[in-house]
Amino acid sequence: MTLPYHTPLPPETRDAHGISPEWRYALASKVQFFELDALNHVNNTVYLRWFESFRLSYVMDYGISDFGPTAPRLVVRSLSARFHKEMHLGDDYIVAGRTTSFRNTSFIMEYALFSNGLAATGDAVMVLLSREGDGRHPLTEAQKKALIERDGAKADAG
């Protein structure tokens, strides 16, 4: 089965790779040479770059930022990751992600990485900052609605 890279995967492709239906947005790619470290496997920090690349695409697709000159700055407040298996040159992989909850100016994402089974999991607390200065930038009602309707995200107090 052909795996289309860098393109949101349709439900039947996610199904065929064992990705459960609560992951609505998923992107595939392939391990490149520069992602290996001296142990000849994918370096742990590379998984976090993949989650970041995924996040950029997700955030544009969900209408949270267009990364234009007036868009809010989206920064990582905290993150965690767990590595379930080693990955090697040329391995295909799929990153899936979703927002589990949000507050007025932040949201929490979960990630799962699949490569012939679950290879890693992670999460990140994302904060929206104003383009200028250090102030916070609120999510709009339309953005909150997208997170609730597409991902089943919960509104947190605060």
Residues that bind a copy of itself (CB under 8 A): 2, 4-6, 29-30, 32-34, 36-40, 43-45, 48-49, 52-53, 56, 67, 73, 75-83, 86, 89
Q: CB pairs under 8 A, 24+ apart, for 59-65?
A: 61/8, 61/25, 62/25, 62/99, 62/143, 62/146, 62/147, 62/150, 63/142, 63/143, 63/146, 64/128, 64/139, 64/143, 64/146, 65/128
Least spacing, CB of residue 33 vs a copy of itself, in Å:
5
DSSP state at residue 59: H
**Environment class of 100 (CB within 10 Å of its CB; exposed 0-12, middle 13-18, buried 19+):** middle
Question: Closer to a copy of itself at the Cβ: 129 or 148?
Answer: 129
Question: Closer to a copy of itself at the Cβ: 19 or 48?
Answer: 48
Least spacing, CB of residue 60 vs a copy of itself, in Å:
8
Least spacing, CB of residue 83 vs a copy of itself, in Å:
6
Question: Closer to a copy of itself at the Cβ: 74 or 148?
Answer: 74
Least spacing, CB of residue 149 vs a copy of itself, in Å:
25
Question: Closer to a copy of itself at the Cβ: 43 or 101?
Answer: 43
Distance CA 86, CA 82 (A): 11
Question: Closer to a copy of itself at the Cβ: 63 or 152?
Answer: 63
Alpha helical stretches, state H, 11-140: 11-16, 44-61
Least spacing, CB of residue 37 vs a copy of itself, in Å:
6
